[in-house]
A and B are shown apart, each in its own frame.
Chain A
Amino acid sequence: MANIMSKSVSGSQSKNQLSGRASALINIFFVIYSALCILPLLLIVSVSFSDEQSVMTHGYRFLPENFNLAAYRFLIKDIDQIVHSYGISITVTVIGTILSVIVIAMYAYPISRSHFPQAKFFTFFVFLTMLISGGLVPWYLVYVQMLDLRNTLWSLIMPLIMSAFWVLIMRTFFKETVPEAVLESAKIDGAGELRIFIRIVLPLSLPVLATVALFQTLTYWNDWFLSLVFISDNHNISVQYFLYKMMVNIQYLSSNPNAMAEITRAGGMVNFPSETVRMAMVVVGVGPIVFAYPFFQKYFIKGLTVGSVKG
């Protein structure tokens, strides 16, 4: 009897699968699509390893012609600017992400507690910012005229610390995951709210904290809009903004004396390997993300399902 049952079950399972041909088609389809995701980057990498002259005559190719490292050799001469930009990007990303997680968690916890009478009001206070905005102009004036933060690192950090979306996600997580009874008993034992928050709530909420940290890291690292709006001098240039400036004007790369001397030695702007150097700089700028993302993508996906916005 049991034998028959198991047979029929396994029979139904194999029946509930696609035909060999359909599943082969699906496989082929995804191989092609995955290739389409990688090839554009490959093109850039290939150009960066190419000889400037052959790029000039044959255009961009997927396989480097006359493989050479001239572009990277040039970038090493210009390493000061790259290191500096990396420094700016890393500083902004690290400080921004840490502050962001702390501020968001500290806002989300009180509004997750049902015995806090103002929880509803402060939930609405943050939710409203998802619906209405004052627009670019008044926001810009607040940062530039009121706070006078133009050209500072703070102007690249402050606007992104607080995120209504993540506050609501975290609030939902606190509500659903941290048992009210535990918090009550801790309170009866005489623990203060801050102590409860740090000792009980945060350790229980590591998944959501990690998720917010990851998303904020990505947001800060990839941000160029704040630089575009607030940075007008040549000091606080992040990696992304550096790439932007180079796109608009390749000569931006050579605005520092080191690179200028190198260009002169190469025979002036005419012989300067601008195309390959430009693409090599993109490779340098995008490298960390491409190598790091497969490792944290797993947590990213978990994060997408960690809580719902509904409230």
Chain B
Amino acid sequence: MKVMLVPPKQKAVFTYSIVRNLRTFWMFYVMMLPGIVLLLINNYIPMSGIIIAFKTINYQEGILGSPWTGLKNFEYLFASKDSYIIIRNTLLYNSLFIVLNIVFPLAFALMLNEMKNRFLSKLHQTIMFLPYFLSMIVISYLVYGFMSDERGYFNGTLLPALGLEPVRWYFTKEVWPIILPIINTWKNMGYYTVVYMAAIIGIDEEFYEAATIDGANKWQQMKKITIPLIMPVITIMTLLQIGRIFNADFGLFFQVPRESGALFPVTNVIDTYVYRTFLTVGDIGLSSAAGLFQSVVGFVLVFISNWVVRRFNRENALF
């Protein structure tokens, strides 16, 4: 019976089905039109622009008319020692950020969840969320307030009080690999803590009641119930970040170190490199080569990490 209801496979002309589709769903297409146009402008037309990386652009002849140069831009890129530095910085910082964005917010969420006073717990969550709402410009001012050479709180008050010599923070590259992760964690703490809190609150209370009756202590409950049950959320949050491991937080690396050249060895990442070589130096070929390299590797990484997760647990995979 059911088979009868399905129309027999039509051998009708292809255009016929298009016309029928348009006639039934024309309103859907009209509704999606603005979105489609914006996706084309913001994403798809630029994607076709990756040919720029294989050309020597000169403005007289335009992008299409400019001569092809093969992989020359990439050769320049990888011959420079910048390429090593920016790739290393991007990967190391982002890997560290991913770990910190799991460990600390998760610990915070677990602790907040144990807080008996609901009002205090909410209050702390609200305050912790504050940095997430500040722009990187404002954060760079806050950091400057502490670390400015002459008048910053560290050099002006804290270090003298401890009997230490002032440090020229914006010229001391050794401290930034510590400072930047702290700022990143501090800014995102509220967001990730809330995500993990929501997952923890969603766990059925009965699990804990049963565990308590069986004599499990808090630590055991956390290890055997809470963490395993919110694993899907942890995986998805991590996967989303691994997919972007080649994309640095431009604001953090551009604004917060205030473009201090002395810090470039530890603050230059792919995104800031692309920005500077393109809009400050004006080298289109080099910057688009770096940009394309970033996209391709990022794309591959998303697929690999998703594939790995799929192998362990299909449910947790992103797609």
Contact = CB atoms under 8 A, between A and B. Distances in A.
Q: Decide whether A and B are members of one complex.
A: yes
Interface of A: 9, 12-13, 15-18, 22-23, 26-27, 29-30, 33-34, 36-38, 40-41, 43-44, 47, 55-56, 58-62, 102-104, 106-107, 109-111, 113, 116-118, 122, 125-129, 131-143, 146-147, 158-159, 161-162, 167, 192-194, 197, 218, 221-225, 229, 240, 243-244, 247, 275, 278-279, 282, 285-286, 289-290, 293-294, 297, 300-301, 304-305, 308-311
Given A136-B274, A304-B191, 8 more contacts: A17-B116, A60-B156, A133-B47, A134-B46, A137-B278, A142-B45, A222-B134, A305-B198
A131 to B, nearest CB: 6
Nearest to A159: B42
Contact of A15 (B34, B50, B152, B212): B212
Contacts of A143: 41
Interface majority SS (helix, strand, loop, mixed), chain A: helix
B153 A59 contact: yes
B231 interface: no
Contacts of B131: 37
Contacts of A37: 127-128, 130-131, 186
Interface majority SS (helix, strand, loop, mixed), chain B: helix
B41 A286 contact: no
A149 to B, nearest CB: 10
Nearest to B151: A59
Contact of B279 (A23, A59, A229): A229
B133 to A, nearest CB: 5
B309 to A, nearest CB: 12
B133 A126 contact: no
A94 B34 CA distance: 18
Most chain A CB neighbours (cut-off 10 Å) among B115, B141, B195, B279: B141
B60 interface: no
Nearest to B47: A134
B134 A59 contact: no
A127 to B, nearest CB: 8
A225 B249 CA distance: 11
Contacts of B151: 55-56, 59-60, 275
B25 A225 contact: no
B14 to A, nearest CB: 14
Given A135-B292, A194-B31, A282 B138 contact: yes
A240 B137 contact: yes
A36 B186 contact: yes
A135 B49 CA distance: 9
Nearest to A281: B141
Contacts of A146: 45
Contacts of B248: none
Given A37-B128, A305-B198, A135 B43 contact: no
Contacts of B126: 294, 297
21 contacts: A15-B212, A33-B124, A44-B142, A58-B157, A60-B148, A61-B153, A113-B28, A118-B25, A129-B44, A134-B48, A136-B291, A138-B45, A138-B291, A139-B46, A192-B27, A193-B27, A194-B30, A224-B135, A244-B255, A286-B138, A297-B126
